[in-house]
Amino acid sequence: MDIDARSFAAFRELVYGRSGIVLAEGKQALVGSRIGKRMRQLGLTRFPEYLDWVKGRGGEEEVTLMLDAISTNVTSFFRESVHFEFLRARLKEMFRAGKNHLRIWCAAASTGEEPYTLAITVRECDPDPACDIKILATDISTRVLKAAVEGRYPKNRMQGLPMDLAQRYFDRVGSREEPLWSARPQLRTLLRFARLNLATPPFPMRGPMDFIFCRNVMIYFDNPVRQRLIAEFHRLLAPGAFLIVGHSESLTGLTNGFQTVLPSVYRRIA
């Protein structure tokens, strides 16, 4: 559906106010198409009608569904693999030094490939069974979080995960015609999933976190939203702990309290 300029401007303002996501001018056709699908489900034909619905009768639930429709979720197992190599090296050092308490936050969990990759990386470092390990996985989209909690993936979504790791941490389920790979309890027990809007700090977590993965998210925010988010990451990370962002992202130009370790990897300054 083609969206008119006035309606697009109204949705841009609403989406930014509720999620911090900046919808660029070039996204007009994409937004019209995605919101149009939701409108058809409601039997609405005009964008101003849907805007009134979101602000009125639809309430908070409809705002969530609208953001679900607009959100872009691109992910895969071991995406930007250098970050997991860095994590593995640091974890091995920590576990050799006797670390018995580990907290990791995956701030943009999407459909789950990233948090399950984090859990695999932790397990592959062979921590002491008594080590208290928790991985928090959050996302603004309830739709993708549901898929992440289910933790079941078709073969084409398992690309990037070596076969030996797939066989070690996933079970083959489903029919012969439509097989799925389902995450085993040894991964699931490390993970907790929750909905969270990164544009609205402070967050309910106390910390301290040892690692925060917030990759390929801040590219959708403007600098004021990024600045608030970075300040919250600084609050939640332990001194010397690590923030990992996407390869296309940087903290350059932001007042942050972080030291660059590698491109897109930062250490919290005490």
Q: 193-236, pLDDT tens digit by residue?
A: 999 999 999 999 999 999 999 999 999 999 999 999 999 999 99
Same domain flag for 214 and 136? yes
Is the predicted pLDDT of residue 72 greater than 80, yes or no? no
**Per mean pLDDT, which range of 2-6, 7-11, 94-98, 175-179 is the poorest?**
175-179
Report the sign of the C-alpha dihedral through residues 187, 192, 196, 201, in that order. negative
Report yes or no: 171 and 185 within 8 Å, Cβ to Cβ.
no
- CATH code of the domain containing 230: 3.40.50.150
Structural domain of residue 60, as residue ranges? 5-70
Same domain, 48 and 175: no
Tell me the pLDDT band of 1, cut-offs 50, 70 and 90: confident
The single residue of 12, 34, 79, 226 carrying the catalytic annotation is 34
pLDDT band at residue 49, thresholds of 50, 70 and 90? very high
Q: Is 34 a catalytic residue?
A: yes
pTM exceeds 0.85 for this model: yes
30 and 162 co-located in one domain: no
Q: Out of 139, 157, 210, 268, pick the active-site residue.
A: 139
Q: How many folded domains does the chain comprise?
A: 2
How high is the pLDDT of residue 209? Answer: 98
Q: Are residues 44 and 95 in the same domain?
A: no
CB contact set of 17 (below 8 Å; sequence gap of 6+):
none
Q: How far apart are CA 44 and CA 170, in angstroms?
A: 42
